[in-house]
């Protein structure tokens, strides 16, 4: 079970009351990709979890403590860009190949470095290592399409590494940072503005689970500012970045004693009950010139305590767990980088 991911960006926006329109400059954070452009991102994620599962059949080898650190260096190449509208005539003296708002973008991600290290108290020598999916990625490339709504599709190259898409999903979570434009109100945002979004957590064992976030456009500052700011090329260092703070929570709608069984569980003769909560925040730095994510740091916690019971036999599985996760994404200069 995955209790934490790389990003906090989601869809389903519900905007808070807007600032007065007069004199307010609104910004649309839509990445402006240029064919042939190359970006490099350094990604590090640390996860610590504890879990206990009680089942009708005791499992003395089941692990209760787990920690993992994942480090990746990814070269992202813009293969092609499909314009949203017929291109306008170039402005006088406009540089060739200047970036513009794009439609669907075809991207190639090459994992120049990919390494994971984990520790667990589980005793099962025959079980696959949780580090293997990340270690297998090093040196491989995948291609995919990013549409203007932030959806990722048409992956190629995954089949050479992973037997199924579900196995590949955890290694692709960082790609959510590329679709920042889908996480903002359509009319744009201004400094000082707050907005909210929420959506249901699909596939969870408890019905009514929701993910809700509140974001604040704090300020603009040089992209090279900040204690943890990445080392950028001279051109990028002169750029201005928007600083966005997002805080999120996971909660369940309905009363504490209301039925928490999802419909698909009910159809299979199961009943569920319990709690699932979570909270966290991220601080994102986004280039005003290009719309690219320059850096992102985040932390989150999730706690679960739920039971799945057979309506026929009465046998039950009881899951208790707690997960803490910290993540950091940095845009690096175009020159080749080594992981620390």
**Model confidence band, residue 5 (pLDDT cutoffs 50, 70, 90):** very low
CA–CA separation, 97 vs 77, rounded Å?
A: 15
Cβ-count burial of 57 within 10 angstroms (0-12 exposed, 13-18 middle, 19+ buried)? exposed
**Model confidence band, residue 124 (pLDDT cutoffs 50, 70, 90):** low
CA–CA separation, 172 vs 140, rounded Å?
A: 13
DSSP labels, 123-172: --TTSPPTTHHHHHHTT-EEEEEE-TTS-EEEEESGGGT-SSHHHHGGGG
**Model confidence band, residue 95 (pLDDT cutoffs 50, 70, 90):** very low
**Count, residues in the chain:** 340
CA–CA separation, 300 vs 119, rounded Å?
A: 20
The answer to whether 103 and 78 have CB atoms below 8 angstroms apart is no
- Residue tagged 């995919």 (tokens): 144
CATH class label, 27-81+100-332:
mainly beta
CA–CA separation, 196 vs 13, rounded Å?
A: 6
| Percentage, residues of the chain above pLDDT 90 | 47
What per-residue confidence (pLDDT) applies to 85?
52
**Model confidence band, residue 94 (pLDDT cutoffs 50, 70, 90):** very low
Between residues 139 and 83, the one the model is more confident about: 139
Question: What is the residue extent of each domain of the chain?
Answer: 27-81+100-332
Looking at residue 182, the DSSP 8-state letter turns out to be G
Segment among 60-69, 139-148, 288-297, 302-311 with least mean pLDDT: 60-69
CA–CA separation, 328 vs 299, rounded Å?
A: 9
What does each C-alpha distance from 92 to 88, 89, 96 come to in angstroms? Answer: 12, 9, 11
CA–CA separation, 316 vs 310, rounded Å?
A: 6
């Amino acid at each position: 079970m995955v209790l934490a991911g790389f990003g906090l960006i989601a869809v389903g926006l519900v905007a808070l009351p807007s600032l007065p329109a007069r004199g307010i400059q609104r910004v649309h954070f839509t990445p402006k990709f240029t064919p042939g452009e190359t970006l490099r991102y350094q990604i590090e994620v640390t996860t610590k979890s504890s879990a206990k599962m009680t089942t009708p059949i005791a499992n003395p080898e089941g692990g209760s403590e787990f920690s993992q650190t994942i480090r990746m260096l990814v070269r992202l190449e813009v293969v092609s860009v499909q314009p949203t509208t017929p291109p306008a005539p170039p402005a006088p003296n406009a540089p060739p190949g200047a970036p513009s708002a794009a439609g669907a973008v075809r991207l190639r991600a090459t994992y120049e470095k990919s390494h994971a290290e984990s520790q667990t108290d589980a005793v099962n020598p025959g079980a696959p290592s949780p580090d293997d999916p990340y270690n297998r990625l090093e040196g491989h490339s995948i291609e995919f399409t990013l549409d203007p709504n932030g959806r990722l599709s048409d992956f190629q190259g995954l089949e050479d590494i992973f037997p199924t898409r579900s196995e590949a999903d955890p290694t692709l979570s960082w790609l959510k940072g590329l679709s920042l434009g889908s996480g903002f109100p359509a009319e744009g945002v201004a400094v000082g503005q707050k907005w909210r979004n929420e959506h249901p957590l699909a596939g969870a064992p408890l019905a009514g689970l929701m993910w809700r976030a509140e974001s604040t456009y704090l300020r603009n500052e040089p992209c090279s500012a900040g204690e943890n700011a990445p080392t950028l090329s001279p051109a990028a260092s002169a750029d201005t970045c928007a600083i966005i703070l997002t805080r999120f929570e996971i909660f369940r709608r309905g009363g504490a004693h209301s039925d928490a069984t999802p419909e698909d569980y009910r159809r299979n003769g199961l009943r569920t009950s319990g709690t699932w909560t979570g909270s966290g925040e991220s601080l994102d730095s986004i280039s005003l010139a290009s719309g690219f994510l320059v850096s992102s740091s985040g932390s989150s916690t999730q706690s679960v305590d739920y039971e799945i019971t057979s309506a026929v036999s009465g046998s039950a599985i009881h899951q208790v767990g707690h997960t803490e996760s910290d993540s950091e994404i940095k845009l690096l200069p175009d020159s080749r980088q080594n992981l620390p």
